[in-house]
Every structure is written in structure tokens, then in C-alpha cells.
Chain A
Amino acid sequence: MRSNIGFFSDEKFRSIFFQTLVVGLFALGLFFVISTTSYNLEKRNIATGWSFLQNPAGFDISFSPFLEFKSTDTHLKVYFVGVLNTLLVSVTGCIAATILGFILGIVRLSSNWLLSRLVYIYVEFSRNVPLLLQIILWYSILIQLPRVKQSLQVLDVFYISNRGLYSPRPIFESGFSYVSIAIVLALISSFLINRWAKKRQDKTGQQFPVFSSSIGLIFIVPLILFFILGSPLSFEHPELKGFNFKGGLVIRPEFIAMFLALSIYTAAFISEIVRAGIMSVSKGQREASAAIGLKQTWIMRLIIIPQALRVIVPPLTSQYLNLTKNSSLGIAVGYADLVHGFGGISLNQTGQAIECMAIVMATYLSISLTISFFMNIYNRSIQFKEK
């Protein structure tokens, strides 16, 4: 009797007991779900397996800027087209949201009453209206643009209609590769110059005009080379032929609507994160840097932002994850992302719902974990290093 009481009141035993119980119940639950699903699939004669991935899709995807897609291609290729389109809108959206968010966050703190109020209104509006509505709003605006035959012409080379924005497509002729190589070399060398200049400044206090020298290297040198090689670049202009413009580059309204809605929505959150980050830096830091005579822009760049980043980056990561996951709303306006193409059309044409959904979920999980991984590395690099 006594030993029995002692047994259960033993903390170690109790914790092991309950942990085993929880794991066991979880495993049983999982077993229950899987067995019920496979039982029901079998009972309803629903075919399972992965072989459908090799079958021809039979439908066309028009929005595929990176891969050529034909209706004879497989469902596997539908998947890759979807992943690329998802990444396209997520990456461009994250970049735009970050730039816009940083600017707005700083402007919000401005002493100009009007500017700071305007940003305040923007933030409260876009944070509090559902993203889906914003996507549909942008799309509805875009398809009210003039029809393709009455396209607006901008600067003689751009055409805007409700079929999208058409611009000339650059055609790289032989010799242009030298220019590309020059640009890459210039980028690497300005990076090295930057490092060298920093080291030198730490040692001797002497400054080097890094910014202007980088601009010179990256823009001027390749430009001179470009003209020496006889301008090896021409443009293919879009032309109205029959029903549509032929040739040129086109950005579709579905993409524009997604891009605008995602970046504007997320930028509102990022601007609040940036504002919180800047405000977390104690006032004394700003006053001290002003006291040693630093310029206003330098105070921001050298003192405030590096310290604010430590507060900004972790929640910023979660905004990137949100934006990526929110891109799955593309289905609302027919943007051919992963959920629409593979998780929608392929799923429906083959009926392999569980397989398709499992693949789509695994893909989003991988993308999210990859973003987290790199953001964590970045986060560690900017943390305060104790010596």
C-alpha cells in the first residue's frame, strides 16, 4: 500500500507515465485516421498511388514564365510550373513588402504630422481588410482597364490593357555575355572593396568612397564595354496581331493583382515591426550619436537600424512565411500557382486528392522551413556579439 502511493507520487515516474500515455494516444489516433482513410478509399473503389504523376496533364497552363508547358506534359511538370509560379510571386512580394515596409515604418515615426497620419491610415486599412478581398479588389480594378484593342500606349513602347502590361523584350546578341561577366566581376569587386574599406577605416580611420566607386564599377564599366562591343542588345517590340499582342514581355493582371495585394498587405505589418524595432532602441543612443556630431542619416544607418534589426528580424521572418502561404489565395483570381495548378486542376482531373494535397502541403512546408533556415542564419549574424 505504502509503496503504491510512493510509486505514483514519484515525480519522475509520473512524468514518464503521462508522456508515454500521450505519445501512445497520439500514435493510436494516427493509426485510427490512416486505417479509416485507407479502408474508406478501398471501399469506395478510389484508386491510390503515385503513377498519375507520369500521366499527361491534358490541359494547358498559359502562365509559365520559366518553363515551356504543353498539354502533353505530365502532371509532374504541372507541379514544377506551380512551384515556380508560387516562388515568383512570393519572392517578388517579400522584396517589395520589405522595401515598402521599411520606408513606411520610418515615415510613420517622422515628426511630420501629415505624413505619419497618412501611413497610420494606410496601415490600419490594409491590416484590417481581409487579404482575399484586397486581391479581388485589385483584380477587379485591373480587368476594368481598356480592352486589348484600345490599349493605353506609354512612351511608345509599353502597352497597358486588361490583358496585362506589355513591354519590349530584350534580345541578347553574341558579345552580350562579356557585358554580363563584367557586371558579375564588378559586383564581386565592389563587395571586396567594401570589406577592405571597412577594415582600413577600423585601423586608420581613413574613409574610402565605397558608394561612388561601386556605382562606377557596376554601371559605368559594363556600359563602356557595351558600347565598345557595338551595343549587342536589341528589343523585340510587342505588336497587336489578331486577338492579342504578339512578342514582347508581358506581365499578366493575375500576377499584378497578387503581387500588389500581397506586398501592400504584408508591408503594413512589416512597417509596424520596423517601427517597434526603431522605438526599442533607447533614446540615449540617438542623443549620444547626435552629441558626437553624426549626421541624421548616419545615426539611422549606423546606430539605430543595426540595433533595431535584432528586434525586427524574428517577426519579419514570420511575415515572410505568412506572405508565402498567403500566395495560395491566387486561386481566387486564376493565378496559376501551386494550389491552383497542381493542387486544383491536376487533383480534379485525376481525382487523386490525398496524394496531391500531401505533395502540396509538403512543398509549402519545405519552402517555409527553407525561409526560416536562412532567416535564422541572418538573425544570428546580426545578433549582439559578446566578446
Chain B
Amino acid sequence: MKKLLSIFAVVAFAFSAHAGTLDDVKNRGFLKCGVTTGLAGFAAPDDNGEWAGLDADMCRAVAVAVFGDRSKVEFITTTGKSRFPTLASGEVDMLARNTTWTISRDVNLGFEFVGVNFYDGQGFMVPSALGVSSATELDGATVCIQTGTTTELNLADFFRLNGISYEALPIETNDEGKENLFAGRCDVYTTDASGLSSTRAAAPNPNKWLVLPEIISKEPLGPLVRHGDHQWGDVVRWSLNAMIIAEELGVTSENVDAQKSSNVPEVLRLLGVEGNYGEMLELSNDWAYQIIKQIGNYSESYEANVGPDTPLEIARGLNALWTQGGILYAPPFR
């Protein structure tokens, strides 16, 4: 019996033990990346059916770092509720899904946030016809809210703090929120300000909607992986950092080839001309070069997906580099 038990223990171990996510991904031949069910600007299929957006770029950057090919990624859609079980069970290798970095998710749920790719905050959107100019005037309103999110908790806190009442209408996806808001089932829609801009851009008549000035929370959104696999965490973390550092150094997808003969040491280290940083990460030495070449630096990704020239019209704000009045900051590449 004892022998049988030990056999089972071994089998159990074999089933659950991972060889390391990086090896798993390499063996599989593509990356599995968890994204939203569709949030324009962050992750949504474009006109050609290709996933596009800031988060989609994050997934592609990791695929490029591992395979040198931006197409080696399978996008797996997750709802606010299904995202964590999907990651914990190994269904996806990473999440890039507008997910707020909080202590309980980082510590209690057994995940590891590797950085922030968008600094956001929770806001409110109302029809302009409602005649409301501040969130404190929303006493008695019906509020559409995505369940299983930090915004749900912030909302309760905000109304409690201001001593005003509201009625929550819990919804599951951004699309349901849009449907209920546009039909007038709820007066207000609350989610991250970026999500509001995205929803507003998708409205039949964007001018009829107003995003209220209050930002009631900090929502640092970033990619996350399972806790405990530090090698894989490093790969994702530095894929993001490489894009930020590239912007800082002025390296873009246009000039990256010319920059290979730059005289700035950090540029040479980043592009793999000097040093063996790729090897340390168990990647090819030109991994960061490939990310910049195929995806672009952070600024390029931002401007193409959510910036002022896109329907979302989100100014850089907090997401500008630390040298330009924002708080975007990556550790040095050395």
C-alpha cells in the first residue's frame, strides 16, 4: 500500500510539475496570452481580424522576445472573472488584460505583476443630456459596473465616503455594459478611464457622452504571470522594460537598424550589439532589437492604439516618461 501511495505521489508530481513556463512556451512553439473579450485600444480584433491594442502589443512583444516572430501568439479571451483561474491553471502563460496591480492579487492569489504598461484611474461616464458635471451629484443613480473588478470595490468606497446612495447593476463584460448604458437601464457607467474612452469611441454618437472629471482610484494596469516562475517573470518584465527604455533612448522601429551603430553604450547593450543579456534570459541576443523592430517602442505602441490621434484620444498624462512629466520609468539596462 505504501508503495502504491508513493507511486501516486510521483504521478501527482509529474502532472503538476512544470518544466518552467519558458521551456513550455518554446516547446509548444507559440505563446498563449490572456486578453480581454474586446476593449478597443487595448485588445480587440481590428478590421482584418487581427488582435490589436496596447495589451495585444505586450503579448506580441513577449512572443517576439521568445521566437523572434510577432505572429507566434494565441490570444485567449478572458472575462474579469475568468482571467485569474485561467492564468492559475496554466491555460495561458501570461495575462495582459487591463488588470490592476493590488496587494491581494500579487500576494494572496499567487500571481506576480511584472510591471505597469498603463497607469489608469477609475472614472464615470454619463449621457451629456443628464446634466451632471460631477460624480458627487450622482445620488440615487443606477450604476453599471463590471463584477469581479477592483472598480466594483472602489465604487462602493466612493459612494460610502461621500454619503450618497446608488444602485449597482452588475454586468459581466464591457459589451453588456455598453448595451445597458445605451438602453438607459443604467445612468452611469464606471470603469477605468481608458475603458470609458474606449466605450465612448464605440458609441453611435460619441459627443452625446461625457466622462466626468473625477478619477476616484489608482489603477496601475500591467501584465502578470504565475508566482514562483521567476525566469518567465523576467522575460515578460524585460520585454515591457525594453519597450520603455527604447522610447527613453529614442530608438524606434524606423531607426533601429541605424541605431545598431550608435555610440551610446546603453543602446548597444539594448540591441544586443554589446553584452550577453539575451543569453542571461535564455533568449537570443537580439531579442530586444526584434521587439523594437517588429512592435516598436512604448511610445509607438501608445500612439498607434490609444493616443490622441486614435478614436480613444487619451493624452499621455501619467503614462509619459518620467523625463517628460509622467511616471513611466524602467530600471537601467545594464
Residues of A within 8 A of B (CB): 28, 31-32, 35-36, 39-40, 43-47, 58-62, 71-72, 143-144, 147-148, 162-163, 241-244, 246, 253, 331, 334, 336, 340, 344-345, 347-349, 351, 353
Q: A45-B227, A334-B171 are in contact. Are A147 and B184 (CB under 8 A)?
A: yes
CB < 8 Å neighbour of A46 from B8, B88, B169: B88
Q: Give Cα A152–Cα B105 distance, bound, in whole angstroms.
A: 46
B142, B168, B226: residue with the most chain A Cβ atoms closer than 10 Å:
B168
By a CB distance below 8 angstroms, the chain A residues around B300 are: none
Contact B148 A143 (CB under 8 A): no
Known contacts A244-B141, A336-B170, A348-B148, then 14 further A-B pairs from the complex at CB < 8 Å, ordered by chain A residue: A31-B8, A39-B12, A45-B110, A46-B109, A59-B153, A60-B156, A60-B168, A244-B140, A331-B172, A344-B81, A344-B147, A345-B148, A348-B84, A348-B147
Contact B8 A32 (CB under 8 A): yes
Chain A CB within 8 A of B167 CB: yes
Contact A243 B187 (CB under 8 A): yes
Contact A59 B184 (CB under 8 A): no
Q: Give Cα A147–Cα B130 distance, bound, in whole angstroms.
A: 12
By a CB distance below 8 angstroms, the chain B residues around A28 are: 4, 8
CB distance from B284 to the nearest CB of A (A): 30
CB distance from B5 to the nearest CB of A (A): 8
Which B residues, 78 to 108, have Cβ-Cβ distances below 8 Å to chain A? 80-81, 84-85, 88, 104-105, 108
A58 to chain B: closest residue by CB: B153
Contact A348 B81 (CB under 8 A): yes
B126 to chain A: closest residue by CB: A243
By a CB distance below 8 angstroms, the chain A residues around B228 are: 43-45
Chain A CB within 8 A of B180 CB: yes
The 8 closest A-B pairs by CB, nearest first: A348-B148, A71-B156, A147-B184, A45-B110, A243-B141, A44-B110, A62-B167, A351-B109
Give the A-B contact count at a CB cut-off of 8 A.
Answer: 115
A39, A143, A243: residue with the most chain B Cβ atoms closer than 10 Å:
A243
Contact A351 B108 (CB under 8 A): yes
By a CB distance below 8 angstroms, the chain A residues around B84 are: 348, 351
Q: Give Cα A334–Cα B170 distance, bound, in whole angstroms.
A: 6
Could you pull out 15 A-B pairs where Cβ atoms are within 8 angstroms? Answer: A39-B13, A39-B16, A40-B16, A45-B110, A46-B88, A60-B156, A62-B168, A62-B169, A244-B140, A246-B140, A334-B170, A345-B152, A348-B84, A348-B148, A351-B104
By a CB distance below 8 angstroms, the chain B residues around A45 are: 110, 227-228
Residues of B within 8 A of A (CB): 4, 8-9, 11-13, 15-16, 80-81, 84-85, 88, 104-105, 108-110, 130, 138-142, 147-148, 152-153, 155-157, 159-160, 166-172, 176, 179-180, 183-185, 187, 226-228
Q: Give Cα A40–Cα B85 distance, bound, in whole angstroms.
A: 13
By a CB distance below 8 angstroms, the chain A residues around B147 are: 59, 340, 344-345, 348
By a CB distance below 8 angstroms, the chain A residues around B80 are: 348
Contact B140 A71 (CB under 8 A): no
Q: Give Cα A336–Cα B167 distance, bound, in whole angstroms.
A: 13
A72 to chain B: closest residue by CB: B160
Contact B140 A334 (CB under 8 A): no
Q: Give Cα A347–Cα B228 distance, bound, in whole angstroms.
A: 23
B184 to chain A: closest residue by CB: A147
CB distance from B111 to the nearest CB of A (A): 9
CB distance from B224 to the nearest CB of A (A): 13
Q: Give Cα A72–Cα B156 distance, bound, in whole angstroms.
A: 9
Contact A253 B185 (CB under 8 A): yes
CB distance from A112 to the nearest CB of B (A): 40
Q: Give Cα A66–Cα B19 distance, bound, in whole angstroms.
A: 52
CB distance from A132 to the nearest CB of B (A): 13
Contact B140 A243 (CB under 8 A): yes
Contact A143 B185 (CB under 8 A): yes
A150 to chain B: closest residue by CB: B184
By a CB distance below 8 angstroms, the chain A residues around B139 are: 242-243
Contact A36 B156 (CB under 8 A): no
Q: Give Cα A46–Cα B16 distance, bound, in whole angstroms.
A: 15
Q: Give Cα A278–Cα B307 distance, bound, in whole angstroms.
A: 70
Q: Give Cα A349–Cα B85 distance, bound, in whole angstroms.
A: 12
Q: A345-B152, A348-B80 are in contact. Are A35 and B110 (CB under 8 A)?
A: no
CB distance from B173 to the nearest CB of A (A): 11
CB distance from B196 to the nearest CB of A (A): 19
Q: Give Cα A329–Cα B21 distance, bound, in whole angstroms.
A: 36
By a CB distance below 8 angstroms, the chain A residues around B110 are: 44-46
Q: Give Cα A32–Cα B157 distance, bound, in whole angstroms.
A: 43
Contact B140 A241 (CB under 8 A): yes
By a CB distance below 8 angstroms, the chain A residues around B170 are: 334, 336, 340, 345
B169 to chain A: closest residue by CB: A334
Contact A353 B85 (CB under 8 A): yes
CB distance from A343 to the nearest CB of B (A): 10
CB distance from A329 to the nearest CB of B (A): 12
By a CB distance below 8 angstroms, the chain B residues around A43 are: 16, 228
Q: Give Cα A162–Cα B142 distance, bound, in whole angstroms.
A: 12
CB distance from A152 to the nearest CB of B (A): 14
By a CB distance below 8 angstroms, the chain A residues around B4 are: 28
Contact A143 B183 (CB under 8 A): yes
Contact B156 A243 (CB under 8 A): no
A162 to chain B: closest residue by CB: B185
Q: Give Cα A45–Cα B105 distance, bound, in whole angstroms.
A: 11
A47 to chain B: closest residue by CB: B108
A31, A47, A58: residue with the most chain B Cβ atoms closer than 10 Å:
A58
By a CB distance below 8 angstroms, the chain A residues around B81 are: 344, 347-348
Q: A47-B108, A62-B167, A244-B141 are in contact. Are A36 and B226 (CB under 8 A)?
A: no
Q: Give Cα A232–Cα B109 distance, bound, in whole angstroms.
A: 56
Q: Give Cα A378–Cα B155 distance, bound, in whole angstroms.
A: 48
CB distance from A150 to the nearest CB of B (A): 9
A44, A144, A242, A331: residue with the most chain B Cβ atoms closer than 10 Å:
A44
B84, B110, B138, B228: residue with the most chain A Cβ atoms closer than 10 Å:
B110
CB distance from B162 to the nearest CB of A (A): 13
CB distance from B25 to the nearest CB of A (A): 18
A61 to chain B: closest residue by CB: B168
Contact A36 B183 (CB under 8 A): no
CB distance from A346 to the nearest CB of B (A): 10
Q: A43-B16, A47-B108, A62-B169 are in contact. Are A243 and B138 (CB under 8 A)?
A: yes
By a CB distance below 8 angstroms, the chain B residues around A71 are: 153, 156-157, 160
By a CB distance below 8 angstroms, the chain B residues around A242 are: 139-141
